[in-house]
Structure 1
Amino acid sequence: MGLIEQNGQYTFNRVLREQYLRGVVPQETPSSWGTMGGGTGMQALRAQAVAARTYLEAISQRRQAKGYMTDTCDTIGCQVYLGASVNDKPLDYGPDFWTTTAAVTETAGIIRVSHDGSIPLAEFGSSSGGWTTPQSELSGFPAVVDDGDDVSANPHHLWEKTIRRTDVESRYPEIGQLKEIKVTLRNGLGEWGGRTRQLLLRGTTANTTVDISNWAEDPFRKGLRLKSDWYRFPQFPEYSEPGFWLAKSNGGVLAVGTAKHFGDAKQVDRSGPIVDLAAPAGAEGYWLVSDSGEVFSYGNAAHHGDLRGQKLADPVVAMTAHPTGNGYWLATADGGVFSFGNAGYYGSMGAIALNKPVVGMETTKSGNGYWLVASDGGVFSFGDAAFFGSTGDIVLNKPITSMTAAKDGRGYWFVASDGGVFAFGSVEFFGSRGGDKNRRSTAGMAVTNTNDGYWLVWDDGTSFPFGDAPDFGSSVAKRTVVAIEVVP
């Protein structure tokens, strides 16, 4: 033991490395683990001993290079070290710590070395829940499967806890009475999609979203005293939105969430900008369409024809896929409709003078009809598409830019460039950005696959979730986004 003066006085303990580790390992891993699993728990203590020894060598090199007098410190900033005298123990730490002492002795001199010969700041994790923590969540190492977690000796791999609705309501009073809890985002590692990273709490007066960046910062887990952040709610069948695509006028496609990127039209010869994107059922492809009616196919989206080479009175403004995925419709600004594949033709407004141009199109659930919407909110119904209302006789603050229909065909929404949302039929209004300070114009709108929410997207790619739509945090795309399409 000694006392030195280095930016203040402090004491230091001069001790042999292996003796020092006897005071570290039991502080970082319970000695009792050594007797668990019929003695197999000793493997965990040996791994901890090697990790602690490796970490000591690595941090010692770094501290010496910075001029520190000691090799390490005794706090969580380095390694947690308690000398034998602190615990009133003999130098060998006595019988209470025989397992950790044995682990240090049996691995004496062993350290881990990186492939380049450097010594890493090693860490050891045990019973980490099936997967170790990824680097994106503040771990120093890539995520890997923990094959030793699901064993009979581990009583914590599977767990249950009953929580009362009133407990949730008291922590989130703004929701009123709890109607539903949805896990809307997981980290993608392991069963059920991995650890919970976002929750939607639906209530009688409001909905609230709980964002969770990592295990330590999970307010729901901590507030309700859950064992881990890997949980689900059996009484609320879990449904997770897969994501969406954003189409850019230059032909680029942004895949958000778990949506896959199948290609784009940035380097393709075309006679005009891209104006819309549509996707067939199955989430394995999509189409892009230009304002001249050229259709570009990607993934398993088959090409059923287009308008290239034809002289159009007005540009193409919208595209929608037939529910079977075996066809599609194109709509022009003057209300013209063009059908391809097994998409039937049920009429158009091409021969009628419109007050305002058409800006969007959607199909019915059956595929035997469709709607057109104009920039003034006028709606035109064809085939089995029912008319649920419009804003054609209302003076809007800003023009309508996009339309989306309920998956069951019982209603539709459309959105104005200022983010105002209008709901018709049996669909719910989940909120809008009308009246908010909007940095950019709203370019598109898409409904979730549950019909219980939707996204609005600015022309720079920034998306805004409402209802049960998870916040995927779509990236900025420099003001060229023209459409959003949910993965079916």
Structure 2
Amino acid sequence: MAKIRRTTTLRGRIDRGGRTSSVRRVLALGAVPALLVAGVVGVAAVDRIDPGVAPAVAADTPFTIAGRGHGHGRGMGQWGAYGYAKNDGWSAERIVGHYYGGTELGDVTDRRLGVRLAGLDGKTLAAYSDAGARVAGRDVAPGEGVHLTPTPGGGAGVVVTSGCDGEVLWQTTTDHPWVDPIDPGVDRPANEHLTICGGPAYRGSLGVALDGAESRVLNHVDIEDYLLGVVPVEARADWADTGGAEALRAQAIAARSYAAAEHRYPYAETCDTQDCQVYGGSAKEDPRTTDAVRTTTGKVITRDGQPVAAEFSASTGGYTAGGEFAAVEDLGDAGSPNHNWTQTFTAGEIGKAFEVGELRSVSVVERNNLGADGGRVKELEVVGSDGTARVSGKDARTKLGLKSDWFTVTEGLVPAAPTPAPGPDVLAEPGSPDAAVEPTEIEKKYAEIGGPAGPLGKPIGPEMSMPDESGRFRMFEGGAIVWTETLGVQVVDASIVISELPTGSDG
């Protein structure tokens, strides 16, 4: 019978004495041989199994998940669009034609949207305008606060105050539950925008509605004005400075199409979060993305004459996922910082994430057969001492916090794949933004001491968590760097690491 390593408890501190410390024990994980495990993901059920069928993997055993892309991969890849625009000179029209097969460009005009401001769910609307506003058929002076509370039947209670929280000036009820700007036209100056007290400003009107018994705050806005606050938070305006202006124009077309196809609630077409499209209001606007919106005014992607929900994600990894739009190769994605990625977990973390007890095995049951490595995971099986979980690739991504559902699983530490030179990143798909990544404390320390040319040499494994999540570490040719909240970041000499590697006995 195979001998099983004993699980140890790691406390994330360096022992100054002669005994093996918890940090040194963590660093020893770098010596575990990498054994390929066929991977699969997708949850259906957890079945009870005989605990004696197979030995459990020690909880501190590392597993490397190597993947491609960031996001669901359906429709347009934002990094791919940038690559095609910058490197191949593609126009926005050619970009959307590539990703959204079986569609054509059409026009939408005079379209206004109701946007649910989800962060204000359950709250009273309190807003003002520097230029004044109108509510309940009356003018409101500049700076005066308007407070709306929705009432049954579609109306609202109105309270107007001196400033946002001053004395009450007047109050009433109305069947028009909206605060309107002094001029309802499109592209009005910033002083006419309505500002949430203590929050962002918005073009258009602000109002309230009831969703059952709970209040909702809404922004009623022209679709072109709405896009001015979407494109700069769903893409990066500075792409226009590096040859990517057409990618921003493609983003504007896709975002307009997505919004025009939305019919999400009885009281609003869409929302302002990742569940729909991220919308930051007028404070997030940028002249470069405003230009992308204005130069594509009204353009939408259509099928059978109707706008389609043109999904997009940050990085496809080199091949789109298919679905509503036919899967296509995405050569433009080669420059994405997430074209290839690795994430590392312990066996204990995997077992806990899938609620199967002590981990026994992880295997991919089915892939979509698109792209390298067999493509995206359709079903994954995770076997543990308490049962077996079968999950979809999407669910596995959620449970482990992976960047996409296109991945392989390997037992042990695997060197990270080379990544492209740093560049502007994007906020990703509706529902899963892909933000620019801040260097970790370990990465900062490694750069500070010279990187690959410094005393530690090249990395020999990815950065990973300690099994008890008390800190993180990374192995290098000449030693390791360890970070804990208590100690901060520490460089551990290679000779100490080597002397503390386990001998293979349970001793």
Range into which the TM-score falls when normalised by the shorter chain = 0.3 to 0.5
What is the TM-score with the length of structure 1 in the denominator? 0.35
What is the TM-score with the length of structure 2 in the denominator? 0.34
Greater relative CO (CA pairs within 8 A, separation 6+): 2
Compare CA radii of gyration and give the structure with the larger one: 1
Larger helix proportion of the pair = 2
